[in-house]
Every structure is written in C-alpha cells, then in structure tokens.
Amino acid sequence: MTAPDSTLPPQLKKLIRQDIQSMHAYAVQDSAGMVKLDAMENPHRLPAALQAELGQRLGAVALNRYPDGRVNDLRRALADYAQMPEGFDLMLGNGSDELISLLAMACDVAGGSILAPLPGFVMYGMSAQLQGLKFIGVPLTPDFELDEAAMLAAIAQHQPSIIYLAYPNNPTANLWDDAVIEKIINAAPGLVVLDEAYQPFSSKSYIDRIAGHGHVLLMRTLSKFGLAGVRLGYMMGPKALIAEIDKVRPPYNISVLNYECALFALEHRDVFAAQAQELVAQRAVLLDALGATKGVKTWKSDANMILVRVPDAAKTFEGMRARKVLVKNVSKMHPLLANCLRLTVGTAEENSQMLAALEESL
C-alpha cells in the first residue's frame, strides 16, 4: 500500500491562507518511556480511592445528552474557589488556549492588535496571527523583568486592543513588579489580561486588585491544579465585559466529562492543595541543588518550573533525553533565552533523576 503524499495539491493550497501554510504546528514531544518534566504538569495522580469514586461518577454521566445546566454548578464552584469579586462573572474555555483564541476573535476590530512581553506564552502571539491581528512583542530585560519604559512606549505607539501579562510568566517562572503592572494597566487603552496559570504554586495573586479596573480580566486554568488532561480554563472579569466576550464561545464547549471531573476535583481541593505544597517544597530543594551545580545559572521561580542556563543547551538537552529525562529546550524561542532549559518540578524521585541526568549531561 502506497503512503499518501504529504504535499498539499495546488488547488487546495489556494484555499488555505498563506500565513497559515508558513506556520509550524504546536509541537508535543514524544515522552514514551521518559521521566516527563517538559510540560509543567502535576506529577501526582489521584489516590486510588478517589479514582474509583470518580470512575463511578463519570460512568453515571448522561453521555447521550448535550452538556446541561450542570456546567453552571461548575462556574459557581470556580467563582467560590477563586474568591471572585462582587460584580464579576466567569466564562469557561477548553483550556486557557481556547479563551485566548476567543479573546482575539472578540477583539478583532479594524486596526486591532495584541501586545505581550517576550519571551512569554506562545499562544498570545499565535492567537493574534490566526485571527489576522498585529502582534507586538516587547522584550523583557536580561533578568526577565518587565521593561517599564519599553512597555509604556509600545502601548502609547500601538494602542493595543489586548495586553497579556502572565503572573508568573512562562517560561521564565517569575513574578513581575506590581508597581510596573499597575502603570501598564493604567496606560492600557484596551483590555489587560492577567494570566495566572501557575497560581497554585505562586506566592501572590492579583485577584484582590482587579475589582478596581473595569478593563482587566484574570485568567486561570485547572491544568496546573492537577487536571491537565481535562482541559479546562476560566476567565473572570466585570459582568458586562464577560457577557460580550462569551458571545463568541461555541455552544457546549465544555464536555460533560470535563465539567464533572472539575467539579469532583474542587470537592476534593484539599488533596490538590497538598500536592501543590509538596511541589513548592520540591521546587525549593531543586533550586538549592541547581544553585550548587557548577555551570548552571538559575532564576527564582513562583511556578512549578525552573528556568536554567547551561553552557550548551542543545548538548545538555540531548544528553538528558538519552538518559530518559525529558525537559524543554527553550533556547531557540527568544534571544534572551540563549542556552536555557525549562525544568518542570516533579516528585522527589523524578527530581533526583533529573538532577543526575543534568549533571552527567553538562
């Protein structure tokens, strides 16, 4: 049997936007047989008793029906969990990625643009490109802090529709100066989205400060909470603003299995909180060990990842992969990340294996 030709026929190439054809799809590394520390996942699974309980609960879900009002139970549970401010509302996405795409769609007006610091989460720029919006990336300082002057100048020049500020940032894992963030919020002519994907591991949140700003949205996900496979993100903001953005959300975008899993997890939030605290403790152990490793530079982390710089990122990455430890080589993402690797915080055993592989691969 002949393998199908992977080249798109000319008549079909004409149907697909040229900029799409020149893009690269988001790559997921093959992790079979590896210690998987490349994607900031929670390494802990549900305890056996909770697995059985959840299995019974999901087995009783009406899979023959479209998602129903039960999804609103999840919205209320998330609002309570996040301590959402009075006068705010919440919308759900199939992961934060969908929310980012929906925001770009809702704000796709003539002359619209999206601005974010770089290096940062790739979906901010990708959502702009896919929606045909201009993307303005503003480099961080060499120590991965916000460049206040550059950010304010870019805002004044480009008047962006949306500004993304990850808190903490990916892949640098750090929190930025709150005073600078406030200046950016005050200067913004459009929306400011504070992305708190790594909130379970962070020492701070912006939730108590967003109520004073009618143009600020706060976005979170249950992926880092411990449900990466469930794909559920949520975004909070003033009711009138959320109501407008929610109009572009596809109907039934959250499956019955997803929202039932999320409700179950929130009912057992203490289990996930304990897991997060264990990862924060392991992060401290890792930072100490990495700080004592010759040839490795580390940065402070408020997430479940640590950014390190090594003499040769490609060689070290391949050496670690050969030793069955998979991390993320981010050295080509941005010039500021030259020779940098991003290490996910795992269990104590996984972290020991990672440190050994790193030291042997330097």
Q: pLDDT above 70 covers what percent of the chain?
A: 98
Same domain as 103, residue 38: no
**How many domains would you assign to the chain?**
2
Choose one of 268, 301, 317: the last residue of a domain: 268
Same domain as 107, residue 246: yes
> Can you tell me which residue has the tokens 């950010």?
151
How many residues would you count in the chain?
362
Backbone angles phi, psi at 165, to 5 degrees: -130, 110
Q: Report the pLDDT value the prediction gives residue 43, as an integer from 0 to 100.
A: 95
Strand order in the sheet with 328-329: 297-298, 305-309, 340-344, 328-329
pLDDT of 99 > 90? The answer is: yes
CATH number at residue 36: 3.90.1150.10
Mean pLDDT across the chain: 94
Q: Nearest-CA neighbor of 159 among 109, 124, 195, 194?
A: 109
- Over residues 329-351, mean pLDDT: 97
Confidence of residue 5 (pLDDT cuts 50, 70, 90): low
Same domain as 281, residue 227: no
The single-letter code of the amino acid at 88 is: F
- Over residues 51-55, mean pLDDT: 97
| DSSP code, position 226 | I
Query: Does residue 217 lie within any of the structural domains?
Result: yes
pLDDT of 1 > 50? The answer is: no
CATH number at residue 130: 3.40.640.10
- Over residues 100-109, mean pLDDT: 96
Q: Report the pLDDT value the prediction gives residue 4, as an integer from 0 to 100.
A: 54
Same domain as 174, residue 26: no
Same domain as 253, residue 116: yes
Choose one of 226, 248, 268: the last residue of a domain: 268
Whole domain around residue 211: which residue ranges? Answer: 64-268
Same domain as 150, residue 244: yes
Backbone angles phi, psi at 219, to 5 degrees: -115, 140
Q: Nearest-CA neighbor of 91 among 103, 107, 109?
A: 103
pTM of the entire structure? Answer: 0.93
Same domain as 78, residue 207: yes
Same domain as 285, residue 258: no
- Over residues 45-62, mean pLDDT: 96
pLDDT of 2 > 50? The answer is: no
Query: Does residue 39 lie within any of the structural domains?
Result: yes
Token pair listed for 194: 């504070």
3-class SS of residue 21: helix
Least confidently predicted of 16-30, 42-56, 313-327: 16-30
Same domain as 70, residue 185: yes
pLDDT single digits (tens) 189-217: 999 999 999 999 999 999 999 988 999 99
Q: Where are the alpha helices (DSSP H) in the chain?
A: 10-13, 18-21, 48-59, 70-82, 96-106, 122-131, 148-158, 178-187, 239-245, 256-267, 269-291, 313-322, 348-361
